[in-house]
Structure 1
Amino acid sequence: MEVFRAHNEKCRALSGISLAPGTVIRYETSLRLTEEFLQKNYQKEDCYLDEVTNQFIEDFEFFLKTVRRRCPLQRREGQPRAGRGALLESDARSVRYRRPHEPRAVHGQL
C-alpha cells in the first residue's frame, strides 16, 4: 500500500495541473477500497506487489461487484453513456450524439 499511497501523493500534487480533481478523488477511493478488500479477504493491512496475482485481481473485481456493488461497466440511470454514440453536448431542450464516423469541422471546413 506504500506504493499506492506514494502514487496518490504525486497525483494530489498534480491535481488541477495535469490531473482533474475528480481523478485524484477516484484514486483515493481506489486506495480505500483496496485496503478494505485486503482487510476483509486476507486480514492484512498491506501486501507485496508480487502478491498481486491474477487471482488477487479477480477476487478484487468480485469484491467490488458484489460486496461493494461497484461495477464500472454498468451505467446507472441518468449517467451519460461513453464510447460509440457518446454525448457531445446537451442543454435543457436537446441532446446531440455524434457517431465515430461523422466528419468533424476543422477551422470551418469539413
Structure 2
Amino acid sequence: MMGKSVEATELNNFINVLRNKIKNIHQTFIENNLTISAKSIIDEFKGVNKKQPKMTLQAFKEHNEQMDRLSGKSISKSTAKRYWTCYNHVEQFIDEEYRKDDFPMNSINHHFISKFEYFLKTKRACNHNSALKYVNNFKKS
C-alpha cells in the first residue's frame, strides 16, 4: 500500500511478515528436497496436514513388540531378543549422539547409519560383523 499513514505502514509490515514466512517455507522445502508447488507452500503456511513425524524408537518398539508375538512361531526367540538388543543400542546412540529421547525417522540418512555403525564399533566394542548385523536389524525395523 502506498503512503506513510499508520494504516499503510501496518499493512506493509504485515505483508513483509507474510512474505518472509513464505520464503522460509520455500527454503525449508529446498533443504529437505521436497516437491515445491503453490499448493504445498500454502498448505504448509496454513498448517494443513501438519502431522508429527514418525519417531525412530517408537516405530522400532512397535516392530519389536510384533516380533515378540511371532517369537517361537515364525521367528526364533533369539532373533526377537537380538532386535531388543539392537533397540537398546539405537536408544543409547540417539541419547549420546543427539542428546534426544527419540529421533524423527524422516531424518535418518546415510550419515546417521554410518555414525551408528561407528558407535557400535567404538562405544559398544562390537566387531565388524556384529556391528553390520545390528545395522541390518535396525534397517529391517
Normalising by structure 1, we get a TM-score of 0.65
Give, as a single letter, the amino acid of the residue that structure 2 aligns with 1:19. Answer: I
Which structure: greater helix fraction?
Answer: 2
Corresponding position of 1:45 = 101
Q: How many aligned residue pairs are there?
A: 74
Structure with the larger RCO, 1 or 2 (CA within 8 Å, 6+ apart): 2
CA distance in 2, matches of 1:61, 1:16: 29
CA distance in 1, matches of 2:118, 2:128: 12
Question: Which of 33, 58, 66 is the equivalent residue of 1:2?
Answer: 58
Question: Which of 85, 88, 91 is the equivalent residue of 1:32?
Answer: 88
Point out the structure with max Rg over C-alpha.
2
Question: Which of 100, 123, 129 is the equivalent residue of 1:73?
Answer: 129
Q: Give the unaligned 5+ runs of structure 1.
A: 75-110
| Pairing of 1:55-70 with structure 2 (within 5 A) | 55-70=111-126
Give, in angstroms, the shift of residue 72 of structure 1.
4.6
CA distance in 2, matches of 1:62, 1:26: 19
**Segments of 4+ moved more than 4 angstroms:** none
Normalising by structure 2, we get a TM-score of 0.51
Secondary structure of 2:129's match? coil
